[in-house]
Amino acid sequence: MNEQIIKVFPESGQKVVSLVRNEHYGGLCIKKVQKDVSFIARIKKEVNIQKALDCIYFPKIYYAKIDENECLIYEEYIDGNDLTKYIGKHSKFYNNETECLKILKELVIGLSFVWNQNVVHRDIKPANIIIRNSNQKPVILDLGIAKNLNSDSVTQGGMWGTPGYSSPEQSFNKRNLFGKKSDMFSLGVVIYELFYSERPFKDAYEAAMLPCDFFKNNLQPSESFQKILTKLLEKMPYNRYKNADLIIQDINQIIGGDNLE
């Protein structure tokens, strides 16, 4: 099989990730080689989830060979930039409720594919969301720490997530409160950051205890926009949205569009 290496990304966690040209998989694709086989269970989980999803909001898996000797994956290459490149006062999202609600709707639709399988992503953040150049649709990355709520155990080492984006129940390891609504909180942080160019909370304590300030940087968002963010960023998960459909309904009341079927 002829293969041309275009770029090798910085090695992380004993994993070598390359951008390669491989015509067998449609041209440009991502090649992942995991050298530390102790990660086999996590890798298998991520691959199985992505294969089951099979939608535009997650990278497609072209090939995977995972055993005690080798972890090799060929994955769809997403041509675009992650959301960290869209944070700032010159971004199309800054002080733009419509653009923020459009991408929120897309992300909710994408995550609903995961939630409908009773799986939680657990690490929603700008670096894990790429905007495709071709159609400006978001693609959600890194399902390696996703949690199947039907499972009896949580990934070893705690609740996982990224400080500054994790829900209060994740940050303080409240396992009895953890669920799909934890992803909703992280979504709220991401959308807030896009709109204001800064996160709503400095740390886990603020996220769990302090109210959200909706008048930063001299911005004055509408009450309807505040309502959606407030609902996503509720401290207790049972005060957040009940499901994806209700988020979409509130968004559509502002920008229009169809509800989830």
Q: Which of 123, 183, 213, 258 is catalytic?
A: 123
How many residues appear in the chain?
A: 261
Token pair recorded at residue 77: 């290459």
User: Quick one: CA torsion of 111, 192, 168, 249, rounded to 10 degrees?
Assistant: -50
Token pair recorded at residue 63: 């090939």
- The per-residue DSSP string of 105-157 comes to HHHHHHHHHHHTTTEE-----GGGEEEETTT--EEE---TT-EETTSSSPPTT
- Residue 123 among the catalytic residues: yes
Token pair recorded at residue 238: 């049972």
Active site residues per annotation: 123
